[in-house]
Chains A and B, each alone.
Chain A
Amino acid sequence: MNVSRRGFLKISGAVAAVSGLGISLKPITAHAKELKIKYAEETTTICPYCSLGCSIIVSARDGKVINTEGDPDSPINRGALCSKGGSIYQMVNNENRLGKPLYRAPFAKEWKEVEWDWALDKIAENVKKSRDASFKKTNAKGELVNRCEGIASVGSAAMDLEECFTYQKFLRGLGLVYIEHQARI
């Protein structure tokens, strides 16, 4: 029987079908799960840790993630998750996440919370200053190189594909050549 988990939840009266799904939810557990995620909005995500690409169902209600679980529809993980994938609930329900830019002035002993606008303006000024001071039109041989030698970047495989592309665009647009990330280590 070929029923997706979503399909199964829709026809959850037919709990007898459960054995055909290859998952061992007993009817009572299924019922409890359904209650837990009732009125929740479901989205899918892919685990941010190793490179398997396990699919995870995220249930959110009132702007808060209330449940995460392996996605049985994914042919890659068929609902299974490891200890890390099983814990992503805690990555988003975590009081230690940073919610405000922090700034540490030269020689300062502590962080200071700052506004985005202020931080981004100051970063832009720093970038321009470093770039202007280190921009090389030509190299020692006199060949055209058009590069900024005073800034380097590492990162990041932690970004999405689309962000990776635009990040390299941002860096190469500024003329950086010292561009590296996790793949090198």
Chain B
Amino acid sequence: MTNHWVDFKNTDIFLIMGSNPAANHPISFKWIMEAVEKRGAKIICVDPRFTQSAARADLYAPIRSGTDIAFLGGMIKYIIDNKLYFSEYVKHYTNASFLVNPALKLPGQNNGVFSGLKDGKYEKDTWSYQTDAEGVVKKDPTLSDPNCVFQLLKKHYSRYTPELVSRITGTPQEKLIEVYKLYASTGKPNKAGVELYAMGWTQHTVGVQNIRTMAIIQLLLGNMGIAGGGVAAMRGESNVQGSTDQGLLFHIWPGYLGAPTASMKTLAEFNDKRTPKTKEAKALNWWKNFPKYSASFLRSMYGANATIEEAYQLMPKLDDGGNYSWLMIFDQMYKEKFTGFFAWGMNPACSGAHSNKVRQGLGKLDWLVNVNLFDNETCSFWRGPGMDPEKIKTEVFMLPCAASIEKEGSIANSGRVQQWRYKAINPPGEAKPDGDIMSEMLFRIKALYAKHGGPLSQAIAKLTWPYGKKKGDEFHYDPRLVARELNGVFLEEKTLENPTKKGEFKTFKKGDVVPTFAWLQDDGSTSSGCWIYCGSVSDKNILGMRRGQADATGLGLYPEWAWAWPVNRRILYNGASVDPEGKPWDPSRAVIKWDGEKWTGDVPDGAGNPGSGRPPFIMKPDGVASLYGPGLADGPFPEHYEPLECPVEKNLMSPQKNNPTIKRFDKPGIGSDLDVYSGVDSCDPRFPFVGTTYRVSEHWQTGVLTRWCPWLAEMQPGMFVEMSEELAKQRGIKNGDKCVVSSARGEVECAAIVTPRFKPVVVDGNDIHQVGFPWHYGWITTKDRKYDKSDKKAEVFTFGDSANLLTPTIGDPNTMIPESKTFMVNVVKKGVK
């Protein structure tokens, strides 16, 4: 989230689209309703289903799943046509004035694709900016040049008329206009609008562009950086913000440092390629500090055991253009490319798209290690439905771990607030904290390499691990020591000029904590595991433990409650909440204020001294936010494409039906025999309905924890399929009937929930039915499976298996997040063919 949960109280208009916070982030509604009650805020909800959030909304609009860009593209057109944008903000704080290469072709003039498409990939030469002799981007501050970003934006979305958008989305035209009008009312300096999304936007083959479309709207309306504004990416797990911050993804090191590829032969080359450059004289370009963060990270890996250059050489490198993401892992696993696999604190047999492929893949391993609290469908995959254990070679280790209140450590919420958790009791039996388990594992691996050697054994031997002590036979991992390493320390005595006060010098001793990341060094004299967490630990304490209640601004920033990255800033981009002279756009909700000498309020972000002319989006090389985004794989502006599996013959927007840059797993040489789709080239009568997945309040993710908690299992006991009264009638299904939902990849038994919450949407004159089901279930907690004598039995059984048995192996071209929110299914009453 750019802002944070409490900040919802400052909002005037909520747009809930791509999420259902009332059910999935229930306590967020405490602040949403406070805004409704105290400010008279209005809630808009756009969703294929009339959700719990819709039930609280002032305005609900139905939509066909997977058509959000069409819906929002229409809003961009409405905002521009009716001049409802915040023109000063757009002019000063975005790239609206930048002039683009006149050779760029937009999809409207190029058969639905941007210029440069070749073999499913874009060559981006024509997406570039016009530059002068010094390489500075040419601009037109009047925003009237036909090649300036603003005019291109206007031209691109001129095709998104209410008539056409309505035919695509199934949203009635008058509803579209109502939504556009209400949300566009936040384009005034004294109005704030926020968008709330979750997996409803990411799990699409146009996932990134869904969010880009909204970012464009928020920039047009001047909603970024202000109190009550922003884009709220509501993360699905308590620490998925933190785990991403810590680089548990193939493409990033901790702190969002792009991982090195094979062509970057030295640390200098790596730094050079990863450090963005700018010719804008007044832009701060914060990422110019990349080499300080990479050096400090390498020190946290290898300390004094290697120079930073040696440490860089020891680190694994990706192939240039290589993809090692989730869908690829299970594809490679199914093709027997791995012998070993860790599923640590995860249950991919239920959470992975196309779960059947995942489950088959697990059987092709030599060994599998699963760490979890309870028995689950992943560690026990070899005895699941359709499996014959006598034919499965995989050796499996199930290691029991401590729950969150049986150990200590911190997690980061969606608002980037790092909060400490304390240990209340010991874990049950011999279960151990994850930190202890991985430490013990590493020591044993180190010992084997010390004894027998092996390829690049120094990469393991030299790895530092100063995170605890041995007590008797056991090592106890101390997260407080790790917290200090994440923050960073000086490795040698160093006298440095204060980066924020010229002429003031400070001397640090070896072992002193680094005060903030502005003090980190590129010469190896500092160590910091994750630069964005630099500042989270002081000489005296871990700031995530703080419980202060002060709220000087009254905006709910609570700067002394725990700690937020970066540098305890609670609202990102807040430099854009003031005008170029430093005056808050909205004095009644001033996030930062200039008191004549310094900024007060939140920790300022990108705000130079008033009148300095520094553009505030300092994480962008040019200092301005991107209406035009040439960095993405699938286009500098979002364009509507149909989901891969969809209920329509063609894309009404253009001749290009699907996102042209997606990687299809049903093509020769990619994917496997299990990767089949339906309804791609033409409608497939076997699977006539749009299927979508969602969650309920009482369960969490695959239910790997919550299905074992009797209160929760009792409240939401099993798999269901929610459908409209119209569809139920057509299929002869009554509320509560056992049904079978199937897709090209599998089937799941569900109880029918027949409700008016789903209504058929009229898409280009045709009734389209959409059905939805939760993905929390799995066979391990069901009653009818085979139980061995030592097996644990849930106190309250659930029924049904994972909805991911239905979902396809297909992902967004930028992120490879699977398209689990839109795919084609059939629903029949059980026993009916």
Contact = CB atoms under 8 A, between A and B. Distances in A.
Interface string B615-650: 000000000000000000000000000000000000
Interface string A56-74: 0010100111000000011
B316 A160 contact: no
Nearest to A103: B397
Nearest to B343: A154
A61 to B, nearest CB: 10
Interface residues of A, number: 121
A148 B338 CA distance: 10
Given A144-B265, A151-B338, A167 B409 contact: no
Interface stretch (B154-162, B281-289, B432-440): B432-440
Contact of A132 (B314, B455, B818): B455
A107 B460 contact: no
A75 B405 CA distance: 21
A159 B390 contact: no
B445 A127 contact: yes
A44 B244 CA distance: 24
A122 B437 CA distance: 14
B307 to A, nearest CB: 16
Contacts of B25: 50-52
Contacts of A133: 339
A25 interface: no
A119 to B, nearest CB: 5
Contacts of A159: 239, 243, 344-345, 434
Given A90-B711, A146-B313, A75 B338 contact: no
Given A98-B398, A162-B483, A163-B409, A145 B340 contact: no
B815 interface: yes
B27 A81 contact: yes
A94 interface: yes
B675 to A, nearest CB: 17
A85 B530 CA distance: 29
A48 B755 CA distance: 32
Interface in B347-388: 348, 351-353, 366-367, 369, 371-375, 379-380, 382-383
Interface in A79-98: 80-85, 87-88, 90-92, 94-98
Contacts of A128: 445, 448-449, 452, 454
Interface stretch (B68-76, B112-120, B129-137, B230-238): B230-238
Interface of A: 2, 4, 41, 43-55, 58, 60, 63-65, 73-78, 80-85, 87-88, 90-92, 94-111, 113, 116, 119-135, 137, 139, 141, 143-185
Contacts of A125: 448
Given A97-B400, A131-B455, A143-B265, A162 B239 contact: no
Contacts of A74: 561
Contacts of B778: none
Nearest to B445: A124
B339 A134 contact: yes
Contact of A155 (B248, B254, B353, B431): B248
21 contacts: A43-B423, A50-B236, A51-B241, A76-B413, A98-B429, A101-B399, A102-B396, A111-B380, A120-B437, A126-B395, A128-B449, A143-B262, A154-B343, A161-B242, A161-B486, A163-B477, A167-B434, A173-B442, A181-B248, A182-B236, A185-B203
Interface string B400-418: 1001111111111111011
A65 B690 CA distance: 45
Contacts of A161: 239, 242-243, 245-246, 409-412, 418, 483, 486, 533
Contact of A73 (B408, B417, B418, B549): B549
Contacts of B343: 153-155
A58 B408 CA distance: 13
A150 B326 contact: no
> By CB atoms of chain B within 10 A, which of A44, A96, A161 has the most?
A161
